[in-house]
Amino acid sequence: SLETALDSFRLDMNQYPDSLSELMENESGSASWNGPYLRREIPADPWGNEYVYQSDGRNFTLISYGADGVQGGEDDDADIGL
C-alpha cells in the first residue's frame, strides 16, 4: 500500500515526497497535492518499527530493518528493501 501511495503522490506532484509524512499532509501547500494518499496513518513494518524511506524525487527506497530494527542482520533480522 505504501508503494501505491508513493506512486500516486508522484503522479500528482511529479516527484516522490521527501518524507512519508507528505503522504498524509500537504506540507508544500501545492495545489497539485490530492491526498491524503493513505486511508490510515503511515503503517509500521511487520515488526512494529518505522520504515526507512529515502528519495531523490525521481526514485525512492523503502526499507525495513527486520525484527531487530537495526541495519544489517540475518534471518528475521535481515533488512528488506523495495
**pLDDT confidence of residue 34:** 96
60: cell is 525512492
* DSSP structural state of residue 21: G
Per-residue pLDDT for the chain (82 aa), expressed as one digit of tens each? 899 999 999 999 999 999 999 999 999 999 999 999 999 999 999 999 999 999 999 999 999 998 888 888 888 888 788 7
* DSSP structural state of residue 65: -
Which pTM does this prediction carry? Answer: 0.86
Q: Phi first, then psi: what are they for 44, rounded to 5°?
A: -85, 165
CB 41 within 8 A of CB 24: yes
**pLDDT confidence of residue 12:** 97
CA–centroid distance for 31 within its chain: 21
